[in-house]
Amino acid sequence: MNETNQIITFKINDLDVSAAAGQTILDVAREHGIGIPTLCFLKGLTPIGACRLCLVEIKGQSKLLPACVTRAAEGMEVITHSPRLQEYRKTIIELLFAERNHVCAVCVSNNHCELQDKARALGVTHIRVPYRYPRLQVDASHMRFSADHNRCILCARCVRVCDEIEGAHTWDVMGRGIDCRVITDMNQPWGSSDTCTSCGKCVHVCPTGTLTEKGVAAAEMKKRGQFLPYLTAMRGTKS
Amino acid sequence: MAKTVVIDPITRIEGHSKISIFLDDRDQVADAHFHVTQFRGFEKFTEGRPFQEMPAITARICGICPVSHLMASSKACDDLMAVKIPPTAVKLRRLMNLAQLTQSHALSFFHLSSPDFLLGFDSDPAQRHVLGVAAKFPEIAKDGIWLRKYGQQVIEWLGGKRVHPAWTVPGGVNAPLSDEVRARILEGIPRGIDIARRTLDFFKGAQGQFKDEIEYFANFPSLFLGLVSPEGHLEHYDGYLRVVDSDRKIIADKLEPTAYHHHIGEASLGDSYLKSPYFKPFGYPGGMYRVGPLARLNCCDRCGTPLADKELADFRALRKEGAVLSSFYYHHARLVEILFALERMAELCSAPDILNTHVRAVANPNKFEGVGVSEAPRGTLFHHYKINEQGLITWANLIVATGNNNLAMNKGIAQAAKHFVDGANVKEGALNRVEAVIRCYDPCLSCSTHALGQMPIKLAIVNANGDTVREISR
């Protein structure tokens, strides 16, 4: 029996569940209606476990593991919600807000922002760490789109969709730690990119107001990320 | 020994400020200064932002008149895009602007200033507020609250929320008016007009009690500046700048608002974060001018709506000839403007194209510099932006309504202090009158310095040696 046909059983929050071998904990949890918050994860793109919001507890393991990249294993006992996880998730959101300049009230993505949604859902009312207020630029050199690094949470969805779906690999990540940021081509203005096809996929998978269409005012940028599952499904059908 | 009286904080206004009253060797008032003690820096921190965000960002300058900033900012952005926005969008913006004028004027008159008229300038300060009015004059308080609520509701119906609606955008507005909302707006207008008319009747009848205040509350010759329509009518959204003098003689007319910087200079004073604009041809400080309801009524030939025009005739009669000069009459002018706003809103709602769905022009930036000018409740508001080829702000200048009045407010408090304040025996009621001069202008200091904070004001009495001999804080 090959791996994909093998059925394994394990527990999520004391609920007995079964899954195909190779499925991630997040996959199985969602199949069973168990919500685990995510930010960098987007169905249709390779998961990378970057945001750490989907960390779960696994009995017998001292480390928390990201549900989006951890495969379910036979007999595993997963806890998706606990006071500790709740606290960590809230802290992650607070750190994201503190790291750059997220000013929801005047943001083009206000009320249509996944970071804001998560903060709301997790009950984040205050940021308990000092804001860093970095001086970051807006790259509005592209004819149709702009990139405001003040609002980037480094989920790398843009990098993945550009590479895996569009095949252009215009976006990439540069620098480490606090200096990390997404770049176009060889860290040049987006408008001067030779590889960008201006398809706009990166804009519509971006969870915040970082990548936006030009010409939108506050609260007007609604992302249409629903194209991705259809696109990947149709491509799967063809092959 | 000369002294200084400091009123700090000044109350029932929007923002932070203080008044210093300087006494001479004989304890008589020598001079008075109005200091705005808050600082914000919107012009600086908007640098680098996409210009389309400016309406939403600059609206945050104020929670009372965000709509004014939305108007001026959106117009500056229209200018950057070099578009003529759809006529229905112009009407809808006007509608929201007038709704805001109504609520803001109601707030100023009923909530902030009526305690002085109804309870008395010398009444117990602990009761001299809107709740004190509600206890003794419940009908008037209810009228004020209803009027403000109505104005706020119209803003909410149009823009989705009462404070900082994101509806006015570069190029127009982002949603058309529905028939249902139009009906709701129209439904409230008759009651609003009734309130405005009976309040005008009350206020005109009560003015006899305030002869001293009328005489000494910033009652002096000055220039007046305001927008007028191309026909010379009262105007709050567009039109041309007009400057009249104290004889109501037109000094300058048909000035393109976008060329404001040719006509208006800004002086910075060492003791206040509020700049002092002046009319350039008359120099500084001779070019002192006043803006706001009093100035607008002095500038226009007529209002352009029947009931307001009738009231304008009564208003003009307050002075035998020439412009109405006492700043006490700002309150009167405010009520006339509420009436005008409600009449005009009814007209706008009845316009045949008001429900058109084409309400937004779309364009990239086509100019590197744009200016937007509108009339805020407190006066003429200027937004001026420069952008780079990417559409990012490289420079911004805002001249906010209250700032225009700075020189006149200073002169006004000096006049009132000299008349009402006895340096040897400073009475609370006298200081309240000095504050009330500021309140006439309904200043929004948060706006005018684009600064942070609530609105207390302080008063200090300083002697000739520079020592503060008395301070009043609330």
* Domain boundaries defined on chain B: 1-38+414-474, 220-325
Domain ranges of chain A: 3-81, 106-225
For the sheet containing B250-255, what is the strand order? Answer: B250-255, B240-244, B223-228, B289-290
- Give CA–CA dist A34/A17, Å, rounded: 11
Among chain B residues, CA nearest to A110: B166
* Cα–Cα distance list, B231 to B132, B253, B313 (Å): 44, 11, 18
Give the residue, B171 or B12, on which the prediction is more confident. Answer: B171
| Partner-chain contact B60 A106, CB within 8 Å | yes
From B145, B172, B162, select the one nearest B91 (Cα to Cα). Answer: B172
* Alpha carbon of B63: minimum distance to chain A alpha carbons (Å): 13
Q: pLDDT class for B455, splitting at 50, 70, 90?
A: very low
Which residue in A has a C-alpha nearest to residue B392's C-alpha?
A140
Q: What pLDDT shows up at residue B433?
A: 87
Q: Which of B50, B56, B57 shows the shortest C-beta gap to A140?
A: B50
Percent of chain A with pLDDT over 90: 92
User: How much is the average pLDDT of B370-399?
Assistant: 96
CB neighbours (10 Å) of residue B206? Answer: 11
Pick from B44, B49, B51, B52 the residue to mutate for testing the A interface (most A CBs within 10 Å): B52
User: What's the gap in Å between the CA of B73 and the closest CA on chain A?
Assistant: 12
Is A216 within 8 Å of B164 when comparing Cβ atoms? no
Residue of chain B with shortest Cα separation from A111: B166
Look-up of token digits 């919600």: A81
- A214 with B164: Cβ contact below 8 A: no
Q: Which pLDDT does position B4 carry in this prediction?
A: 73
Higher pLDDT, residue B3 or B152 = B152
What mean pLDDT value characterizes chain B?
A: 90
Domain A3-81 has CATH 3.10.20.740: yes
Amino acid at B436: A
Q: Which pLDDT score, from 0 to 100, does residue B451 have? A: 34
Q: Which residues contact A139 (CB under 8 A, 6 or more apart)?
A: A146, A147, A148, A149, A184, A189, A190, A191, B390
Whether residue B392 and residue A140 make contact (CB cut-off 8 A), yes or no, is yes
Which of A141, A148, A217 has the CB atom closest to B55's CB atom? A217
pLDDT at B456: 56
Interatomic CA distance for residues B43 and B21, integer angstroms: 31
Name the burial class of residue B99, with classes exposed (0-12), middle (13-18) and buried (19+) by CB atoms within 10 angstroms of its CB. buried
Place of tokens 């949603």: B175
Q: SS3 string of chain A?
A: CCHHHCEEEEEECCEEEEEECCCEHHHHHHHCCCCCCCCCCCCCCCCCCCCCCCEEEECCCCCCEECCCCECCCCCEEECCCHHHHHHHHHHHHHHHHHCCCCHHHCCCCCCCHHHHHHHHCCCCCCCCCCCCCCCCEECCCCCEEEEHHHCCCCCHHHHHHHHHHCCCCEEEECCHHHCEEEECCCCCHHHCCCCCCCCHHHHHCCCCCEEECCCCCCCCCCCCCHHHHHHHHHHHHC
- Label residue A36 left, alpha or beta by phi (over 0 means left) and psi (-120 to 50 means alpha): beta
* Predicted pLDDT of residue A239: 46
What is the rounded distance in angstroms from the CA atom of residue B410 to the CA atom of residue B417?
A: 11
SS3 string, B122-152, reads CCCCCCCCHHHHHHHCHHHHHHHHHHHHHHH
Q: What pLDDT is recorded for position B9? A: 66
* Cβ neighbours, 10 Å, residue A200: 16
- Mind telling me how many Å the CA of B352 is from chain A's nearest CA? 28
Q: CB–CB of B304/B229 below 8 Å?
A: yes
What is the biggest distance separating any 2 CA atoms in chain A, rounded to whole angstroms? 56
Q: What is the mean pLDDT of residues A134-159?
A: 97
Could you confirm whether domain A106-225 is CATH 3.30.70.20?
A: yes
Range of weakest confidence among A137-146, B116-125, B251-260: B116-125
- Residue B127: count other Cβ atoms within 10 Å of its Cβ: 13
Distances (CA, A) of B351 to B336, B337, B344: 23, 21, 11
In angstroms, what separates the C-alpha of B231 from chain A's closest C-alpha? 34
Strands B3-8 and B468-472: parallel
Q: Which residues of A touch B55 (CB under 8 A)?
A: 217-218
CB-CB neighbors (< 8 A) of A141 in chain B: 390
Residue B449 has a pLDDT of 45
Q: Span B293-302, mean pLDDT?
A: 98
Q: Which of B47, B165, B64, B79 is nearest to B382 (CA)?
A: B79
Instruction: Judge whether residue B431 has pLDDT over 90.
Output: no
Of A138, A216, A220, the CB nearest to B49: A138
Q: Are B401 and B105 in contact (CB under 8 A)?
A: no
Q: Mean pLDDT throughout A163-180?
A: 96
User: How much of chain B, in percent, has pLDDT values that exceed 70?
Assistant: 94
Can you read off the two tokens belonging to residue A112?
């249509």
- Residues of A contacting chain B (CB within 8 angstroms): 105-106, 108, 110, 137-141, 146, 148, 191, 214-220
pLDDT at B471: 74
Going from the C-alpha of B109 to that of each of B100, B328, B333, B375, B430, the distances in angstroms are 14, 12, 10, 18, 20
| pLDDT of B25 higher than 90 | no
Judged by CB atoms closer than 8 Å, whether chains meet at A105 and B164 is answered as yes
pLDDT at B452: 33
Interface size A-B, in CB pairs within 8 Å, comes to 53
- Give me the mean pLDDT over the B157-171 stretch: 92
Check A217 against B48: CB less than 8 A apart.
no
Summarize pLDDT for B205-234 with one digit per residue, the tens: 999 999 999 999 999 999 999 999 999 999
Q: What's the rounded mean pLDDT across residues B326-352?
A: 97
Buried b (16+ CB within 10 A) or exposed e, A59-90: eeeeebbbbbbbbbeeebebbbeeeebeeebb
Nearest to B56 among A139, A214, A217 (CB): A217
List chain B residues with CB under 8 Å of A110. 166
pLDDT at B473: 64
Q: Cβ contact (<8 Å) for B52 and A216? A: yes
Contact between A218 and B170 using a beta-carbon 8 Å cutoff: no
Which band of pLDDT confidence, cut at 50, 70 and 90, is reported for residue B454? very low
Cα distances from A57 to residues A48, A84, B54, B64, in angstroms, run 18, 9, 45, 49
Contact, B394 vs B47, CB < 8 A? yes
Q: Are B216 and B416 in contact (CB under 8 A)?
A: yes
